[in-house]
Chains A and B, each alone.
Chain A
Amino acid sequence: MPARNVDRTKRIIMPFDTIITALKGRFADLATSEFRDNRRVVVAPAQLFDVLKSLQEEHGFDLLFEMTAADYLKYPNAVDRFGVVYGLLNTVTGERVFVKTVLNEPDLTLPSAFSLWKGADWLEREIYDMYGILFDGHPDLRRILMPEAFAGHPLRKDYPLRGRGERHNFPVITRANS
């Protein structure tokens, strides 16, 4: 199997600022932040889908490498309850960008990114399972890791680590009935 020789040093990296300027021209009130090498764009849920679509189609971020959520219930000085983070990667330039949005109860609905990336399918199901965030337009939004009959969303901060006793609630098989 011959390895393909690609000179990785000669990559044209589009400056992040141009992407931000282009996005800011199209979408109002777009916040950006940076920490270490993670560059983030913070958008409102209403604009999320359009920003993702624009990033995919116009700026070449073709791989959704990460999608996760966090519950900021006990976070110091947090204003919003949930945050959802999309990590996008441009497989040609190797550039990454994170798109973040925040959600509050009772409206825990986001547009599904399944139409842009098929890889979003299971990632969205997992977030629904763990946090109860709904994705509008997802083809098959069911629980994925927890049993169907399970009540509650385990990764929310108001769910205890050791659960509410679900793990002990099974019939017992003894030697007599086996």
Chain B
Amino acid sequence: MPLEALDTLPDGPEKDYLWTLNFGPQHPATHTTLRLILTLDGETVVKAVPDIGFLHSGFEKLGEDLDFNQYVTIVDRMNYISPIANEIAWHHVVEKLMGIDLTPRCKYIRTILAELARISDHLLCTGAQALDLGAFTAFLYGFQQREVIYDIYETISGQRFHPSYTRVGGLLYDVTEEFVRKVRSFVQEFPATHADMCRLLNRNRIFVERTQGIGVLSKELAINLSCTGPIARASGVVRDLRKDEPYLAYGELQNTFKVICATDGDSYTRYLVRMEEMLESLKIIAAAIENLPAGAVNVDVDSKVVFPAQTSVYRTIESMIQHFELVMPNRQWTPPLDEVYGAIESPNGELGFYIVSDGTGVAYRARTRPPSYIHFATFPYLIEGHQLSDVVAVLGSLNIIAAELDR
């Protein structure tokens, strides 16, 4: 945030007239932990200075200490609204580093999970945005469907919140018939909830009045401030990694979905883009679950990157040796000595990892490109000149996830 904003004001009584309000770090509308120091002229925000770091837990330092499979439990906790998107991003980059090509079945399962994550993220984001503006019911509807998605996670991994489901070169377990059944029923039932939420909010007078025209982000500013994801798309930046740099099964499912874009760039548009994206995600899920390929879920055991099946570890010496090689901290994987950046389109925007590898199974440097961090930097530009009550409307539309913000 440039500090010139205050300096342009004349000294003297005009400046004394301004007052300062501390917003957070423990405030219902911040959802988690962030702080804003607002300079106000009456109720108009003259300047906002964000103060973050209230949840800085040393994720990136931990990434230099845990191996590629262990660290997935940590990246989970980096995004507590759609954890599985982070897992997929992390292992996408690790596999890019090692040059592993996944099996078709694994690609499809990961695609389904990534889209479920997108839906659950947008449900919480839009629900909480409405909650902050006083509409409690939409939040309850959204959470009802989130519980269904939690249930699907629990079916595949045993953990409802942080599945830690992906592994280098594959997945923890293969999915079962029950998973397919639950996803199918979700695909059938979700549009009703979505329609309910739309009916509650889209033309809700209070909601529209409080979000339309608030926090406008122009296309030029969005690009200059490095915005990606729904926030950039709501401002007219036509960019979606699922189309532009297809990964997983998105290349094959290219024709099943559209990229949702808009041009207004205000809080209401960001809400609309998220709502529409959920329906597009649902189309991807519907197409992927019906075309789920058969076959193995992990890459070939001979590639020495995945664990052999448990029964063969007990019965054959080769598998036992390979298992041993992968679990011993001084052996493990042998990625090339280089650095790589890879990214996926997470619900919030481009979620990337920059891995510097020193040839061991532990990343030498595991940098996250956090969309929340970059999007929150836009906040001072968005709120300038708006009312104090609009702070909540803008914050809600940015979908700031504090753990990703501070890491």
Would A1 and B260 be within 8 Å (CB), given that A87-B341, A118-B224 are in contact? yes
Cα distance A132–B88 in the bound complex, in angstroms = 31
Closest to A66 in B: B369
Indicate if the CB atoms of B354 and A68 lie closer than 8 Å: yes
Chain B residues whose CB sits within 8 angstroms of the CB of A147 once the complex forms: 53
- Answer whether residue B258 sits at the interface, using C-beta atoms and an 8 A cutoff: yes
Contact with B along A54-81 (1 / 0, CB 8 A): 0000000011111010110011100000
B142 to chain A, nearest CB (A): 19
Cα distance A89–B377 in the bound complex, in angstroms = 19
Within B1-51, which residues are at the interface with A (CB < 8 Å)?
Answer: 1-4
- Answer whether residue A172 sits at the interface, using C-beta atoms and an 8 A cutoff: no
- Answer whether residue A25 sits at the interface, using C-beta atoms and an 8 A cutoff: no
Our pick among A4, A8, A74, A91 for the contact of B223 (Cβ within 8 Å) is: A91
Chain B residues whose CB sits within 8 angstroms of the CB of A175 once the complex forms: none
Closest to B55 in A: A145
- The interface residues of chain A, by DSSP majority, are classed as loop
Contact with B along A148-174 (1 / 0, CB 8 A): 000000110000010000000000000
Contact with B along A103-133 (1 / 0, CB 8 A): 0000000000000011101110010001000
Chain A residues whose CB sits within 8 angstroms of the CB of B359 once the complex forms: 76
- Answer whether residue A28 sits at the interface, using C-beta atoms and an 8 A cutoff: no
Indicate if the CB atoms of B354 and A75 lie closer than 8 Å: no
Closest to B275 in A: A1
Indicate if the CB atoms of B356 and A144 lie closer than 8 Å: no
Our pick among B226, B262, B367 for the contact of A1 (Cβ within 8 Å) is: B262
- Answer whether residue A46 sits at the interface, using C-beta atoms and an 8 A cutoff: no
Cα distance A87–B354 in the bound complex, in angstroms = 10
A30 to chain B, nearest CB (A): 18
A73 to chain B, nearest CB (A): 10
Within A74-96, which residues are at the interface with B (CB < 8 Å)?
Answer: 74-76, 85, 87, 91, 94
Chain A residues whose CB sits within 8 angstroms of the CB of B364 once the complex forms: 70, 74-75
Chain A residues whose CB sits within 8 angstroms of the CB of B407 once the complex forms: 145
Would A66 and B341 be within 8 Å (CB), given that A75-B364, A94-B244 are in contact? yes
Chain A residues packing against B (C-beta within 8 Å):
1, 3-6, 8, 35-36, 38, 62-66, 68, 70-71, 74-76, 85, 87, 91, 94, 98, 117-119, 121-123, 126, 130, 139-140, 143-147, 154-155, 161
Chain B residues packing against A (C-beta within 8 Å):
1-4, 52-53, 56, 58, 60-62, 64-65, 96-97, 99, 221, 223-228, 237-239, 243-245, 258-262, 269, 272-273, 276, 336-343, 350, 352, 354, 356, 358-359, 364-365, 367, 369, 373-374, 376-377, 381, 406-407
Query: What are some 19 contacts across the A-B interface (CB < 8 A)?
Result: A1-B269, A1-B272, A3-B258, A3-B259, A36-B340, A68-B369, A75-B358, A75-B364, A85-B354, A91-B239, A94-B244, A119-B224, A119-B374, A122-B376, A123-B226, A140-B2, A143-B53, A145-B52, A161-B64
Taking A4-B238, A85-B341, A161-B64 as known contacts, 4 extra A-B pairs with beta carbons closer than 8 A to each other, sorted by chain A number, are A65-B350, A75-B356, A155-B60, A161-B65
